[in-house]
């Protein structure tokens, strides 16, 4: 994996942990310890997202400044599709 | 007085949110007043978690929910 892919995987992992805790808290709202872990992963996911976006550009439209997504290459412009974006 | 048996969590008043440390002290997998002929999903009490990279690989944050369902029993 490239450094970019490694970092994107970390973002995905932190987001996934955050979402799974969110599901758990739906039925365990009184679990204070889980709420603390949820907050920790929220911070972690935010930090990783910022780190990724500083190096490689926006992940979602919400954080896109200007017209970043119009920059070349587009996914179909490169061989091996999304791996080279 | 609030009747705690009206809560969806046995032993838990609905206003107790965030006031308890761990569910395992007060919770049981099934309600004490489980009724006949009704189906219940046992409540999750185990809160051990993987680190996030492992969780992404396994598809769940909770080891107790990690059930790969390999289906090997049915294969020939």
Say whether B52 and A16 touch across the interface (CB within 8 A). Answer: yes
Say whether A12 and B55 touch across the interface (CB within 8 A). Answer: no
Query: Highest-confidence range of A39-53, A66-80, B8-22, B25-39, by mean pLDDT?
Result: A39-53
The alpha carbon torsion through B66, A23, B47, A46 (nearest 10 deg) reads 100
Task: List strand residue ranges (DSSP E) for chain B, in order.
Answer: none
Residue B50 C-beta-side C-alpha neighbours within 13 Å: 20
List chain B residues with CB under 8 Å of A30. 9, 12, 16-20, 23
Instruction: Give the nearest partner residue to A33 out of B12, B22, B62, using CB atoms.
Output: B22
- pLDDT over 90, % of chain B: 33
| DSSP SS3 for A32 | helix
Instruction: Give the nearest partner residue to A28 out of B23, B53, B56, using CB atoms.
Output: B23
Average pLDDT in the B24-48 region? 83
Residues 6+ apart with CB under 8 A from A40: none
Does the structure show a pLDDT above 60 at B10? no
Which tokens in the block code for residue B10? 């046995």
């Amino acid at each position: 994996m490239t450094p970019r892919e490694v970092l994107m995987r970390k973002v995905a992992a932190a987001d996934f942990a955050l979402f799974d805790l969110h599901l758990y808290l739906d039925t365990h709202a009184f679990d204070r310890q889980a709420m603390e872990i949820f907050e920790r992963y929220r911070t972690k996911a935010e930090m990783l997202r910022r780190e990724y976006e500083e190096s490689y550009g926006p992940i979602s439209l919400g954080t896109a400044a200007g017209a970043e997504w119009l920059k070349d290459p587009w996914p179909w412009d490169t061989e091996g599709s999304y791996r080279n974006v | 007085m609030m009747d705690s048996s009206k809560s969806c969590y046995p032993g838990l008043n609905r206003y107790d949110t965030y006031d308890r440390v761990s569910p395992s002290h007060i919770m049981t997998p099934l309600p004490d007043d489980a009724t006949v002929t009704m189906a219940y999903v046992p409540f999750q009490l185990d809160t051990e978690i993987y680190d996030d990279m492992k969780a992404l690989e396994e598809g769940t944050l909770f080891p107790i929910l990690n059930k790969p369902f390999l289906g090997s029993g049915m294969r020939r």
